Amino acid sequence: MTTKTTVDDAEVARFSAMADEWWDPTGKFRPLHKFSPVRLGYIKEHVSAHFARNAEDPAAFKGLRFLDIGCGGGLLCEPMTRLGAEVIGVDPSPVNIEVARLHAERSGLQIDYRATTAEDLAAAGERFDVVLNMEVVEHVADVPVYLAACAQLVKPGGLMFVATINRTLKAYALAIVAAERVLRWLPPGTHSYEKLVKPAEIEGPLGEAGMTIVERCGVTYNPLLDRWNRSRDMDMNYMLLAARPK
């Protein structure tokens, strides 16, 4: 299937090289693992509220169909599957998909991983209750085109989560200079300043695609507790939630 794709080839190659280390919480992907609780908590809380589920139920997502775009090694797909969701994970990198498949098998989880793109899925007519778009928009070549395709994937009454990094001086200082060059949490070149995305640049295309913004929040790092927390400060990392009306 060849449709118009917005994936940047250089970005894909860089992540493929790192793929084997996805699942080591003390390795290169430690920052992403550290990020997990705050992301998972946000998703669990809002999906439960939206679909009238009990947020304390370890199987709250039963019967919901999830799509994780840019699933990487499956760091989000596996928790969503444990919570009872039927999960499809897509990533343009076949290496990532192989790593994710291998790991899901070892974890004893059934996850449908596909080396494809949001654009191809949308063209194929796939639809989901929840679309996860976490830490992806800052890596795509054309944000509005990409988001329009993602919006198509959300069923009426469904949700889309977007998480990314704001294009501000503070984000440049912390997410690029500090995280990549000083603390070495991420390999240099993981993020480039020009590709970072402001909230309005997400909300605009999503609104045009018929989605309404439900909620948004910042995510900040507490160095004393070595933990990420939700906050009102959206100048750096942030998450937002959009819904497609029924």
Partner 1 sequence: MTNARDDNATLDVLVAGGGYVGLSLALALKKSDPAIAVAVVDTRAREAIAKDLRCSAIASAAERMLTHLGVWSQFAARAQPINEMIITDSRLRDVARPVFLTFSGDVAPGEPFAHMVANADMVGALHDTASQAGVEMIAPDSVTCYETTGETVAIELASGGTRTARLLVAADGVRSKLRDLAGISTVHWNYDQSGIVCTVEHERPHEGRAEEHFLPSGPFAILPLTGNRSSLVWSEKTSVAETLVKGDDFTFEMELERRFGHHLGALKIAGGRHAYPLSLTLARDFVKPRFALAGDAAHGIHPISGQGLNLGFRDAAALAEIIIGARRLGQDIGAFDVLEQYERWRRFDTFQMGVVTDVLNRLFSNDSDVLRAARDFGLGLVERMPGLKGTFIREAAGLSGQVPRLLTGEAI
Annotated binding site for S-adenosyl-L-methionine: 39, 70, 91, 134
Complex with partner 1: residue 108 or 245, whichever CB lies closer: 108
Instruction: Please report, in range form, the residues annotated as the binding site.
Output: 39, 70, 91, 134
Q: What is the C-alpha to C-alpha distance for residues 88 and 27, in angstroms, rounded to an integer?
A: 26
Evaluated on CA atoms 98, 44, 134, 154, the torsion sign reads positive
Complex with partner 1: residue 129 or 138, whichever CB lies closer: 129
What the block records as the tokens of 186 is 């991420």
Complex with partner 1: residue 173 or 183, whichever CB lies closer: 183
Smallest separation (angstroms) from partner 1 to the CB of 238:
20
Smallest separation (angstroms) from partner 1 to the CB of 91:
19
Query: Tokens 């550290």 correspond to what residue?
Result: 34
Complex with partner 1: residue 106 or 232, whichever CB lies closer: 106
Q: What is the C-alpha to C-alpha distance for residues 210 and 242, in angstroms, rounded to an integer?
A: 10
Burial class, 163, CB count within 10 angstroms (exposed 0-12 / middle 13-18 / buried 19+): buried
| Binding interface with partner 1 (CB under 8 A) | 25-26, 30, 33-34, 36-37, 40-41, 44, 55-59, 78-83, 103, 106-108
Helices (H), 163-235: 169-171, 199-208
